[in-house]
Amino acid sequence: MYDIGLPEFEILKRETNKDNDYTYTVVPKAAMKWCPECGSANIVKHKKHNRIIRDLNEYEHRVGIIIQGHRYKCKECQSYFGEDFDAVDKSERLTKRLKTMVQKECFEKTFKVIAEQYGISQTSVKRVFDEYIKEISADYKAYAPQVLGIDEVHLHSQYCGVFVDVLGQRVIEMTKDRNKVTVKEFLAALPDNQEIECVTMDMWRPYKDAVRDVLGNVPIVIDKFHIVKELNKTLEDIRRTLRKDMEKGNRVSLKNMRFLLLTGNDNLSQRQSNQLKLLLNEYPQFNVPYQLKEAFRDIYLYCTTREEAKQAYSEWIKTCHDSNCTAYDSFIDMVKNWHTEIFNYFDYRYTNAQTESLNNVIRETDRAGRGYTFEVLRAKILFRGSIAKKGKFNYKGNS
Which residues in this chain contact Zn ion in the complex, by CB under 5 A? 35, 37-38, 40, 74, 76-77
Nearer to Zn ion, 35 or 133 (CB): 35
Q: Which residues of 144-167 are buried (b: 16+ CB within 10 A; e: fewer)?
A: bbebbbbbbbebeeebbbbbbbbe
Q: What DSSP string runs through 199-216?
A: EEE-S-HHHHHHHHHHHT
Instruction: Report the nearest approach of Zn ion to the CB of residue 80 (Å).
Output: 10
Can you name the residues that pair with 68 across neighbouring β-strands? 50
Closest approach of Zn ion to the CB of residue 170, in Å: 51
**Would you say 37 or 130 has its CB closer to Zn ion?**
37
Q: Which is nearer to Zn ion, 38 or 52 (CB)?
A: 38
- Residue number with CB closer to Zn ion (24 or 72): 72
Helical H segments across the chain, by residue range: 96-105, 111-118, 122-139, 180-189, 205-215, 224-245, 248-262, 270-282, 287-302, 306-322, 329-337, 339-344, 353-368, 374-383
Q: How far is the CB of 90 from Zn ion (least distance, A)?
A: 18
Count of Cβ atoms closer than 10 Å to residue 62 Cβ: 20
Tell me whether residue 77 or residue 353 sits nearer to Zn ion (CB atom).
Answer: 77
Residue 100 exposed, middle or buried by CB count within 10 Å (0-12, 13-18, 19+): middle
DSSP H helical ranges for 119-179: 122-139
Beta strand pairing call for 220-222 and 198-201 = parallel
Q: In angstroms, what is the minimal distance from the CB of 76 to Zn ion?
A: 5
Between 42 and 330, name the residue whose CB sits nearer to Zn ion: 42
Taking the least distance from each CB to Zn ion, the nearer of 37 and 356 is: 37
Nearer Cβ to Zn ion (75/306): 75
> For the packed helices 122-139 and 111-118, what is the interaxial angle rounded to 10 degrees?
120
The minimum distance between CB 116 and Zn ion, in angstroms, equals 42
Instruction: Provide the residue type at 43 as one letter.
Output: I
Pairing mode, if any, of strands 147-155 and 198-201?
parallel
- Work out how close the CB of 30 gets to Zn ion at its nearest, in angstroms, rounded to a whole number: 19
Nearest approach, Cβ of 44 to Zn ion (angstroms)?
11
Q: How far is the CB of 31 from Zn ion (least distance, A)?
A: 15
DSSP state of 23: E
The nearer residue to Zn ion, 81 or 300, going by C-beta atoms, is 81
Pairing of strands 43-58, 170-175: unpaired
**Closest separation between CB of residue 43 and Zn ion, Å?**
7
Q: Are 35 and 43 a contacting pair, CB within 8 Å? A: yes
Nearer to Zn ion, 76 or 375 (CB): 76
Helices (H) and strands (E) in the chain, counts: 14, 10
In this structure, are residues 150 and 207 in contact, taking their beta carbons and an 8 Å threshold?
yes
Q: Shortest distance, CB of residue 37 to Zn ion, whole angstroms? A: 4
Q: Output the furthest CA–CA distance in the chain (Å, rounded).
A: 100
